[in-house]
Amino acid sequence: MGRTALFLRARFACTDDEVLRAERKLLPHHVHPGIDPARAGNICDLLQSQLSLSEPELKKVVLRHPAVLNYSYEATIVPSLAALQSRLSLSEPELKKMVLKLPSVLSCSYEANLAPSLAALQSRLSLSEPELKKVVLRLPSVLSFSYEANIAPSLAALQSRLSLSEPELKKVVLGIPPVLGCSFESNIGPTLAFMETAFRLAPDELRERVVATPALLSLSLDRRYHPRVALASAPGVVVARETLRPAAMYTDPNFMVWLRKREQLGLADGNGRPCACCLSSSVQVVCTTGAGDMRCTEERGQPRRVGVNPIYSG
């Protein structure tokens, strides 16, 4: 058993699997003989004291970034943490939170990596100091991104796709900072295309919806949009723009309540099926025929409230 395994077992009571994963993150044993237990123990004690880490929190940091056990605490870790804390005006709890979310920040050179990336992001979006801090706290991994290779292309693609102005682009990023870590081709692009098609949104409407509610970009197509659109659909029903907010933003229980309300309102098209254009939790249904039949008409593009059966059974 190597020195790394012995230290991890003794200090953190690590399992075989945890030790194996940590060792794989270090250089191969024939190149790197492992850590110095005395030095590693000292680094753990100093780091735990500086960041007020519990033993489980310290273990989390070490297992996610075991290379920290080989650093010089005074020459590497202390200067990096001090510079980052000063640059973003981080409180002690905020600094701790950032390290727990991104332990690799302990090994980043502030001058060579962090400072240039922060400056480029701040300049691109015209962020104030508090706004830059907000973005980094919401998405600490942004510190590990390459601005030129990752952030700049994603911002350009999003801005071009939605024809966003500079203030609108800034508002979207501040509303949902994790958008900086999403691949436009794999995530954001397909989400926008689905929203545009499924909810019958014109380009201007799509832009307005995203700017008003940036969180729309963070929702999964497979886990949120696809299943809910399927539930909201029925033969003869067109899922319209009014369905977007319930389908995207409601919790599961509230979405099911919304579906039931829709059925109870019974607003329908000429074939007796619920008409998506008329559905809203604020609609008051009034029987206009005396027979409770389900008809829907539009006058100058505005749906008319009509009387319906209390429950739509299909």
0.85 exceeded by the pTM?
no
Any domain includes 33: yes
Any domain includes 25: yes
Residue range of the domain that includes 76: 1-108
Least confident of 3-7, 66-70, 161-165, 261-265: 261-265
Any domain includes 79: yes
Q: Looking at residue 242, what is its pLDDT? A: 83
In this predicted structure, the answer to whether residue 273 has a pLDDT above a threshold of 60 is no
Q: How many domains does the chain have?
A: 1
What confidence tier does 240 reach under pLDDT thresholds 50, 70, 90? confident
* pLDDT tens digit sequence for 126-164: 999 999 999 999 999 999 999 999 999 999 999 999 999
Q: Looking at residue 1, what is its pLDDT? A: 64
In this predicted structure, the answer to whether residue 123 has a pLDDT above a threshold of 80 is yes
Q: Looking at residue 206, what is its pLDDT? A: 96
Q: Looking at residue 261, what is its pLDDT? A: 85
Any domain includes 17: yes
Any domain includes 46: yes
SS (H, E, C) the chain: CCHHHHHHHHHHCCCHHHHHHHHHHCCCCCCCCCCCHHHHHHHHHHHHHHHCCCHHHHHHHHHHCHHHHHCCHHHHHHHHHHHHHHHHCCCHHHHHHHHHHCHHHHHCCHHHHHHHHHHHHHHHHCCCHHHHHHHHHHCHHHHHCCHHHHHHHHHHHHHHHHCCCHHHHHHHHHHCHHHHHCCHHHHHHHHHHHHHHHCCCCHHHHHHHHHHCHHHHHCCHHHHHHHHHHHHCCCCCCCCHHHHHHHHHCCHHHHHHHHHHHHHHCCECCCCCECHHHCCCCCCCCCCCCCCCCCCCEECCEECCCCCCCCCCC
